Chains A and B, each alone.
Chain A
Amino acid sequence: MGTVFEETRAPSMGQEEDNMAKVTLTVNGRTMSGECDDRTLLVHFIREKLGLTGTHVGCDTTQCGACVVHMDGRSVKSCSILAVQASGSTVTTIEGIAAQGELHPVQAAFNQHHGLQCGFCTPGMVMTAVDMIGRHGGALDEATVRHELEGNICRCTGYHNIVKAVLAANEEMHGAARQAAE
């Protein structure tokens, strides 16, 4: 697949032939299938086979988080999972969170609070924030947000506005419920 696999291979290593597999995923609510090599990474399958290029690749060390998607309801780094490992699961990508053309509250908050500059890290940041807000059920403070952004690197913003955006989205999504309970 593309330039990723073009290097020559030492003769004694790995399989001689690529094993092909059929991968079926439910992506953003739709069942999608495609053929790929067993060694194809989930992120490449999503981008190149399914044409959903919102999910990014920012490193080759599993550290930057640009590739974060939700798999069966949990945030994962799609650059370090094979598409065949994920087959049969339900995946949500950045393309799948806005309902009927209306920005998700996290997307709206990133926009409003300037939580991005070049935007490369943003899909992963937004998917991480959606997961984080869901998991903490409203109980989020700045220290927790900073700690939970451990797996996402941003080279532009210095994180301040990302943290602000996540806290604002949390307030938007849970504040009303909290007020009603009080």
Chain B
Amino acid sequence: MYATSYHRASSVGEAVNLRASHDEGRYVSGGMTLIATMKQRLAAPSDLIDLRHIADLRGISVEGRSVRIGAATPHADVAGSAALRTVCPALCHLAGLIGDPHVRNMGTIGGSVANNDPAADYPSAVLALNATVVTDRREIAADDFFLGMFDTALEEAEMITAFRFEAPEKAGYAKFPNPASRYAITGVFVAKTAGGARVAVTGAGSSGVFRVPEMEAALLSSWAPESVANVSVDPAQLMSDLHATAEYRANLVRVMAKRAVQASL
């Protein structure tokens, strides 16, 4: 690992100021992506601004159907939240499938979404739930947030502080994990929201998480696994790598979508 300077922030304002005054600095939340990458010398931030000790960034609140999850809330807390489970158990299920228990104890939802790894689980939920990404300076709709692999609408030094969404009427998540890393080879999150049916796919797209309008239309007329069973996705927009070909992933999208709808019932 290259040398770095560590700063522990105690408020959002302090963290943003620190980050803004170090061009080559980075926020560190759980570090389960960033520290791991620094160990490989694939990242070399001059400064690390630690968000883990900012109390405002942690925790889950559920009021009626309105959910708010702080950006520095670890995956284990999302998986284990009784309040969240009553209104959106699919999100608890998704969080419990990430990595392993130790990774879930450190890794956070904000770090995962900011990183926007094309095989990460959370981006599919944020997009399918039509969540609002709250930052230190504005609110960004999920549809405007994910711009491509590892690319988001976040500006230089902009920090995610929380996620907000209305609990869906129904939701489900199914993933086909890479057997070694547990990242999604393909994962599909389906949600029946006030604004209609939403289907978001992670792990498969060649430019990151994406929605499948044909499946959404089919689910709008009938919310049943059979509705998505025959909707095919064009392999041309999917990834091919040593784990799976684009054609195989296209099939997985259908199968995972079917299982996700089944799980939502």
Residues on A close to B: CB < 8 A? Answer: 5, 7, 9-10, 13-19, 21, 37-39, 41, 60-63, 65, 68, 74-77, 79-82, 84-85, 128, 131-132, 148, 150-152
Contact = CB atoms under 8 A, between A and B. Distances in A.
The residue in B32, B50, B103 that gathers the most chain A C-beta atoms within 10 A of its C-beta is: B103
A161 B76 CA distance: 27
B44 interface: yes
B36 A61 contact: yes
A62 B34 CA distance: 11
Contacts of B76: 74
B245 interface: no
Contacts of A17: 3
A108 to B, nearest CB: 23
B101 A85 contact: no
Given A151-B101, A151-B102, A14 B35 contact: no
A41 B103 CA distance: 16
B44 A77 contact: no
A62 to B, nearest CB: 5
Interface string B25-66: 000100110011011110011111010100000000000000
Nearest to B80: A135
The residue in B101, B103, B105, B106 that gathers the most chain A C-beta atoms within 10 A of its C-beta is: B101
B45 to A, nearest CB: 7
A37 B3 CA distance: 8
28 contacts: A9-B2, A9-B3, A14-B2, A14-B3, A14-B44, A14-B45, A15-B4, A16-B3, A17-B3, A18-B3, A37-B3, A38-B3, A38-B48, A39-B3, A39-B4, A41-B39, A61-B36, A63-B180, A68-B102, A77-B102, A80-B35, A80-B36, A82-B31, A84-B6, A148-B100, A151-B99, A151-B101, A152-B100
Contacts of A41: 1, 35, 39
A16 B46 CA distance: 9
The residue in B4, B8, B46, B102 that gathers the most chain A C-beta atoms within 10 A of its C-beta is: B102
Given A60-B39, A65-B102, 4 more contacts: A15-B2, A74-B76, A80-B106, A131-B101
B21 interface: no
B201 to A, nearest CB: 24
A139 B180 CA distance: 27
Nearest to A152: B100
Interface string B102-123: 1101100000000000000000
Contact of A62 (B1, B2, B32, B50): B32
A179 B70 CA distance: 41
A37 B41 CA distance: 16
Nearest to A78: B102
Contacts of A79: 39
